[in-house]
Chain A
Amino acid sequence: MYDFAYQKPGSLADAVKVLSGDMEAKALAGGQTLIPVLKQRLNKPATVVDLSALGLTGITVSGGVITIGAMTRHADIASNADIKAKIPGLAHQASLIGDEAVRHRGTMGGSLANNDPAACYPSALLALGGTIKTDRRTIAADDFFQGMFTTALEQGEIITSIDLPIPEKSAYEKFRNPASRYAIVGVFVAKFANGVRLAITGASQDGVFRHTEMEKALSANFSPDAIAGIVTPADGLNGDIHASSEYRAHLIGVISKRAVAKAA
């Protein structure tokens, strides 16, 4: 990696100040994407700002919402009793990210801010209709993701926590890239009293998206059969040496049915 300055601010305000004042600064959450990128010299930040001293960890339940601190690690989400009981799809999803080492370093806020098109968490946030809280505002999930590696976050804006409404039912089903084990297709489905939301990661060139046709069918009848006939076009889906866009389109149907079967 290239040389960089390292800072570990003790307050959110200080962190925001450093990141806002320096276009060449990068925030370091769990580092499971940033560190490999730095090691390969694919990024050259002047300053790396470590967010681990800001106290942004923890999981709380209040009034039908689970709030997860942005720096909470995947392993803690996967093993949290409240999440396992109330949003089992999320606990399961966290348990599938990376490997043990990644899950003990990587954070939910870091993953969401990066918005890798093959990352898992964006599908949970979008399907649950969650809300991102930052140092300065709240952002609805539907407004947050803006294409691959792109979010609504401004320069220097730091995610502090994520609010996730507790659904009646939830499930995540992941079809892994056999090499990287990122999602080739990941489907998060959440059933609420007022309807179903279903989000797909890994498949689209634009990153995570909601499958509204499936949502509509599932809101009327929450069963795999309800979406069995829905064909997803391959246009706009990713294709690579592991999976063509046609295969991904097909897998969206298969994996969605399995996610619904698991939730129902």
Chain B
Amino acid sequence: MVFQGIGASVRRKEDVRFLSGKGNYTDDINRPGQLYAYIQRSDRPHATIDSIDIAAASAAPGVVKVFVGADIVEAGLGGIPCGWQIHNQDGSPMAEPMHPVIAVGKVRHVGDPVAVVIAETRQDAKNAAELLEITYTDLPAVANLTDAVKPGAGEVHDGVAGNICYDWAIGDKSVIDGVFASAHKVVKLDLINNRLIPNAMEPRVALGDFDTSSGDWTLYTTSQNPHVIRLLMGAFVLHIPENKLRVVAPDVGGGFGSKIYHYAEEAIVTWAAGKLRRPVKWTADRSESFMSDAHGRDHVSTAEMAIDKEGHFLGLRITTLANMGAYLSTFAPAVPTYLYATLLAGVYKTPVIYCNVKAVFTNTVPVDAYRGAGRPEATYLLERLVDVIAMETGIDKVELRRKNFIGVDAFPYQTPVALQYDSGDYQTTLKVALKNADWDGFEARRAEAKKRGKLRGIGISTYVEACGIAPSAVVGSLGARAGLYEVAEIRVHPTGSVTVFTGTHSHGQGHETTFAQLVVDQLGVPFDQIEIVHGDTAKIPFGMGTYGSRSLPVGGSAMVKAMDKVIAKGKKIAAHLMEAAVEDIEFKDNTFTVAGTDKSKTLTDISLAAYVPHNYPIEELEPGLDETAFYDPKNFTFPGGCHIAELEVDPETGVVEMINFTAVDDVGRVINPMIVEGQVQGGVAQGIGQALMEACIYDSSGQLLSGSYMDYTMPRANDIPNLSVATENTMCTHNPLGSKGCGEVGAIGSPPAVINAVVDALKDYGVRHLDMPATGAKLWSIIQAAPSSGNAPAMAAE
């Protein structure tokens, strides 16, 4: 039999339906009598809504109803809740302004819903929306962080002074200032983490349905976490109890974080379906996604490192402005705080760290977690700063990293910013990456490129991240309004096949394959007799979904725990059937054996006995073989590693060509090496996209300039070189699988490696730093302005 357990590169079973057009996505679902919603969105960044005349639209062909903000006020709908509360330095809670599902009185970003037209066809709804007469009075708008915090800037929300959502800090300011006052040298860097638009392949869709006989609502939606949506929407927005509300997230075509959050459209269609007694579907088109899906990143930071004579890091001091957009998305406040500042130790034993974060409202689309969420921002800042330190001290950049690494014998390692790393071996991932990238042969390759007129550069990033989100009590103490355990139910059927119900959600990760491999490994059930069920609150226990590289370390661990229960119960049944003591029963390879004898029963024998309990210890044991486990992780997991980028810049055009990319990651135990490689490849492609291409650009008035693929540069396959992906794993010490998670490492580790390589390529031009994305136009300008081009005064390009 082909090995399909832990460690096998089993082909993804879900790909058969995805690649043959048999997937069942939300937009593939249609309900009898279905209506279509079109959402009229604000084209103004900031304005009062003076009037909305819906008469003509309401009378248009096919129109069933037009809803505006006043309707949701009258209906008593709640605002979209925020799932995380951050406290200011003075202990007061963050500003948490109302986020209505349809704008009431004011619009605060281009794309804010102003009216909803519901009609018999999508075309009818769209036609009627053009007949809406909306009058606005424009208000002063702020789009970028530095403008928004200037005195006298327009205020996004009344009563939120200076647009500050919160002013938060970690670390002791007086201690860090003392470290800096006595340091040998301080290296300072100002940098921007560019704003990104997520762009999952499948745009968001929501279909609300209402059963007039039972009075039950169903929402079909493109979500990474249907239970979270049911909780947020049911409890806070629509006031529907859980037993009357089912949320289904079927096949979902990518999320990258953007489908975690509860969005207005979900509440709108569900509520409207109940009001109109007919199903209501909304499907985003791509342009609409650009202005309604939560964006990512968007930080402006100043970072300073105090160092001693030998280049040891003594203290890190950081101030960051983080863009929240116009409203707080579900997990937005956590991203620049507990997913960012707690990562600022990185792989280094920096003893003192202080970080102040001001979260800022602007007249832009809300910003929330996007693949990596806070950790790419921390890693980029730190790994750029380390390279600048190397440049300014003359210490070799690899040596500088090595000498500051947390040693392999230092684990568990308590950082000064709350986290305790359980395991890792940064020297080894570095060593293997240097070898795989032929780091030592680089200067010869640079010289060869120079002969061809190209500027070749190499860049390195050594990183750690915190995922496997998360210990509930810990995140609760930090402001999370949810628990972050995971749940699994293992249902062994009478003839020994297995259905797994998981609270995680697969939207590209391949859970149906990986999770089945866990069952193959632990229960010895053949791969093709295992079914993974997810994404339906009517079927699965209350789970928290998929994000933060949590599905395997948390969800997989719940499966292991549930299978432990299955085995424990199976042993009792086996002991009864074989007339042996429970302690003498061993389970291995799908078989219960009486130790030291040839007496055995297969799992099928046991499951059959469990469901046909004729000869069964019925006095002591319930029938059936169906076990559920909730697993709350003891700690975060800490994947890490080393990424190396090698590229060439064309000095005539400024254009960067990626040549090689090497990743050596520590992701803990690997279940399916092929899927891990694919996850890292995808993450690295997104990281290269952020570093070289992607830029969400608003003009100063709040209009979105990069509003379509004509202007927003997504990386294409031929922008990405062949990727050398390898793992050098140390085991997570606190979960039963030893797995750390691999979904985000690529997007976290890669951007600084790429920018470090660009800066290295431009080293003859006196470049100290440049902000992402490193486009041809930007590099050309830098080259033009550099002293060695003879075109400009001697100044470092910033």
Contacts and interface: CB of A to CB of B under 8 A. Distances in A.
A63 interface: no
Interface of A: 2-3, 40-41, 175, 178-180, 241-244, 247, 250-251, 254
A40 B776 CA distance: 30
B777 interface: yes
B312 to A, nearest CB: 41
A247 B784 CA distance: 10
B697 interface: yes
B89 interface: no
B781 A180 contact: no
B780 A242 contact: no
Interface stretch (B142-150, B668-676, B704-712): B704-712
17 contacts: A3-B123, A41-B126, A178-B713, A178-B776, A179-B693, A179-B709, A179-B710, A179-B711, A179-B714, A180-B709, A180-B710, A241-B711, A242-B775, A247-B777, A250-B780, A254-B652, A254-B653
Nearest to A240: B711
B775 A175 contact: no
The 4 closest A-B pairs by CB, nearest first: A179-B713, A180-B710, A178-B713, A254-B652
Interface string B696-739: 01000000011001111110000000000000000000000000
A178 B775 contact: yes
Nearest to B714: A179
B653 A251 contact: yes
A247 B781 contact: yes
A244 B777 CA distance: 8
Contacts of A41: 126
Contacts of B776: 178
A180 B711 contact: yes
Nearest to A182: B710
B287 interface: yes
Given A178-B693, A180-B711, 18 more contacts: A3-B123, A40-B287, A175-B653, A178-B713, A178-B775, A178-B776, A179-B693, A179-B711, A179-B712, A180-B709, A241-B695, A242-B711, A242-B775, A243-B777, A244-B777, A247-B777, A247-B780, A254-B652
Nearest to B693: A178
Contacts of A2: 127
A244 B781 CA distance: 10
Nearest to B287: A40
Interface in B302-338: none
Contacts of B697: 241
B127 to A, nearest CB: 8
B121 to A, nearest CB: 11
Contacts of B714: 179
Contacts of B127: 2
Which size bracket describes the interface of B in this complex? 20 to 34
A241 B773 CA distance: 12
A176 to B, nearest CB: 10
Contacts of A180: 709-711
A227 B417 CA distance: 59
Contacts of A40: 287
A92 B119 CA distance: 48
Contacts of B706: 179, 241
A138 B712 CA distance: 40
Contacts of A244: 777
A41 B127 CA distance: 10
A2 B127 CA distance: 8
A157 B676 CA distance: 58
A2 B653 CA distance: 42
A199 to B, nearest CB: 20
Nearest to B126: A41
A175 B714 CA distance: 17
Interface string B513-531: 0000000000000000000
Interface in B747-767: none
Interface string B132-170: 000000000000000000000000000000000000000
Contacts of B123: 3
Nearest to B652: A254
Interface in B96-119: none
Nearest to B123: A3
A262 B775 CA distance: 25
B61 to A, nearest CB: 11
Interface in B417-441: none
B652 A242 contact: no
Contacts of A179: 693, 706, 709-714
A159 B652 CA distance: 39
Nearest to A180: B710
Contacts of B709: 179-180
Nearest to A253: B652
A179 B781 CA distance: 19
A242 B777 contact: yes
Contacts of B780: 247, 250
A242 B711 CA distance: 8
A254 B776 CA distance: 13
Contacts of B652: 254
A175 B652 CA distance: 12
Contacts of A250: 780
B292 to A, nearest CB: 16
B649 to A, nearest CB: 14
A98 B714 CA distance: 15
A254 B127 CA distance: 48
B452 to A, nearest CB: 14
B317 to A, nearest CB: 34
Q: Which of A175, A179, A180, A251 has the most CB of B within 10 A?
A: A179
B485 to A, nearest CB: 42
A175 B653 CA distance: 9
Contacts of A242: 711, 775, 777
Given A247-B780, A254-B652, A254-B653, A241 B705 contact: yes
Contacts of B653: 175, 251, 254
Contacts of B705: 241
Contacts of A178: 693, 713, 775-776
A178 B779 CA distance: 14
Contacts of A254: 652-653
B783 to A, nearest CB: 10
A40 B288 CA distance: 11
Contacts of A241: 695, 697, 705-706, 711
A180 B709 CA distance: 6
A175 B287 CA distance: 26
Q: Which of A2, A3, A178, A242 has the most CB of B within 10 A?
A: A178
B14 to A, nearest CB: 26
Nearest to B715: A178
Contacts of B711: 179-180, 241-242
Contacts of B781: 247
Nearest to B778: A247
B692 to A, nearest CB: 9
Nearest to A178: B713
A41 B130 CA distance: 11
A110 B127 CA distance: 29
A99 to B, nearest CB: 9
Q: Which of B123, B693, B697, B710 has the most CB of A within 10 A?
A: B710
A3 B124 CA distance: 11
Nearest to B130: A41
A247 B697 CA distance: 19
B416 to A, nearest CB: 41
A247 B777 CA distance: 7
Q: Which of B697, B710, B777, B781 has the most CB of A within 10 A?
A: B777
A74 to B, nearest CB: 18
A97 to B, nearest CB: 15
Contacts of A251: 653
A160 B634 CA distance: 73
A22 B775 CA distance: 46
Nearest to A41: B126
Interface string B777-797: 100110000000000000000
A162 B706 CA distance: 36
A86 B560 CA distance: 68
